[in-house]
Structure formats: C-alpha cells, structure tokens
C-alpha cells in the first residue's frame, strides 16, 4: 500500500504542463528491423546474492555474440547517477523503479534488448513497471535462491552487517522481499549452473520470436 500511494504522489507531481509527446519518423519497428531482432526487457529480480547481475551479464554476452544490440542496467550502477539521490526505504525503492522503468521504455523504443538486475522486492513496484512499459515488453525472471545460499555468497559481508544492525532496510533481513507470483521464468540459481540458466533464457527469447 505504501508503494502504491508513493507512485500516485509521484504521478501527480510529475505532470508537466504544456508538454506534447513528439512522434519520431524512425519508429520502433524500423529500428528492430535494422537490428535484426525485437526489443524487450529482461527483468531479473531476487535477493542480493541470488545471481541477478552475474546472469544478466552472461546473457548479454551470449546475445552480443549472436549479433544483438543489448544493454545491462545494474542496480548499483544506476544509483551512481540517475538515482544517486535515493536511499533504500520502500518509498525510495519505488521511485528508483519508476525512474528505471521510464528509462527502459526509451531503450525498448530504440529497438534494444535491455537487461535489468534489481532486487525490486515489492510486487506492487514490479507490477507498476509492467504498467509503465507494457507487460508485453518485459520478461520477469525470478532468480530463485534461498537466503542461506545468498548469505554464503556474500563476499562484501553486507548480510552480516545487516544482521548486526549496521545496515538498515536490508532486503531479506530487515526489509521484506515478495517473490513473483507468476514470473515468466523461475530459475533455481542456487542449484542450476550459470550456463544452464543462460541457455534457458536464450531459448525463451527464441520461442517468443524476440531473436532468431
């Protein structure tokens, strides 16, 4: 409910007067034809340590070698610039997702396959992302990994700090994570190999006609 209310406030504040959306002569279908593939967003969600960024970059590498135009948006990298003014409260996380969704929409229009690796812990935020960019333009990929395994991969020691109370609002410890109810792909990243997960995603893109 907090996330939904936050989005409503942001939507009301974000209405710019006297602004008209321009129509480009070069359209998304023309860009997709030039690129040789459709544009789509692969949204990786899961706990910290579940393998989101590793998998996103591995999939991008595979697609790049296949001649696809791609770009990875990593949660940490986005917070260095576009969202550097945001913290990790549920409200700030919601605004973070809204900004990312708007950015993804531009990449979809550009005919690019974008890959986003964000914890995105709340179902309401992920639902709003789909509403903003169109559910038909996104594949939700759940990196399904147990908290125990995620903690064992914690090379930065962030989970340990969170359990000691040194980090607030840490997902899985002091802040909630709501698993996707019906993700497009549910990958057991705690047991399946990286290569196996990449193959599953690439196969899904082929089945959907995104790539040849």
pLDDT digits (tens, 9 = 90+) for 90-111: 788 788 888 889 899 999 999 9
Q: Which residue among 53, 94, 120, 175 is the active-site one?
A: 120
Would you place residue 156 in the very low, low, confident or very high pLDDT band (cuts 50, 70, 90)? confident
Third-level CATH fold of 2-7+31-144+178-202: Rossmann fold (3.40.50)
**Mean pLDDT over residues 186-208, rounded?**
98
Is residue 120 among the annotated active site residues? Answer: yes
Write the CB contacts of 181 (distance below 8 Å, at least 6 apart in sequence).
Answer: 123
Residue 142 pLDDT class (50, 70, 90 cuts): very high
Q: Where are the domains of the chain?
A: 2-7+31-144+178-202
Of the pLDDT bands very low, low, confident and very high (cuts 50, 70, 90), residue 9 is: very low
- pLDDT score of 2: 41
The pLDDT tens digits of the residues spanning 22-77 come to 777 899 999 999 999 999 999 999 999 999 999 999 999 999 999 999 999 876 66
Distance between CA atoms of residues 98 and 15, nearest Å: 14
Q: What is the pLDDT of residue 78?
A: 64
**E strand or H helix at 116:** strand 113-117
Token reading at 66: 């296949």
Confidence at residue 111, expressed as pLDDT on a 0 to 100 scale: 96
Q: Tell me, what DSSP letter sits at residue 156?
A: T
| pTM metric for this prediction | 0.85
């Amino acid at each position: 409910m907090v996330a939904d209310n936050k989005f409503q406030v942001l939507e009301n504040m974000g209405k710019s007067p006297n602004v008209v959306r321009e129509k480009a002569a070069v359209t998304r279908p023309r860009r997709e034809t030039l690129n040789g593939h459709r544009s789509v967003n692969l949204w990786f969600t899961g706990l910290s340590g579940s393998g989101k960024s590793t998998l996103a970059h591995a999939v991008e590498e595979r697609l790049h070698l296949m001649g696809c135009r791609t770009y990875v948006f990593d949660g940490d990298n986005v917070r260095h610039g576009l969202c550097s003014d945001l913290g990790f409260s549920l409200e700030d996380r919601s605004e973070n997702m809204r900004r990312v969704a708007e950015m993804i929409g531009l990449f979809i229009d550009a005919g690019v396959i974008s890959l986003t690796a964000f914890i995105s812990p709340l179902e309401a935020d992920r639902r709003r992302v789909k509403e903003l960019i169109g559910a038909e333009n996104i594949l939700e990929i759940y990196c399904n990994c147990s908290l125990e395994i995620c903690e064992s991969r914690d090379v930065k020691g962030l989970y340990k700090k969170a359990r000691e109370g040194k980090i607030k609002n840490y997902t899985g410890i002091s802040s909630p994570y709501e698993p996707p109810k019906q993700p497009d792909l549910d990958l057991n990243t705690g047991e399946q190999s990286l290569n196996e997960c990449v193959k599953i995603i690439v196969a899904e893109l082929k089945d959907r006609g995104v790539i040849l």
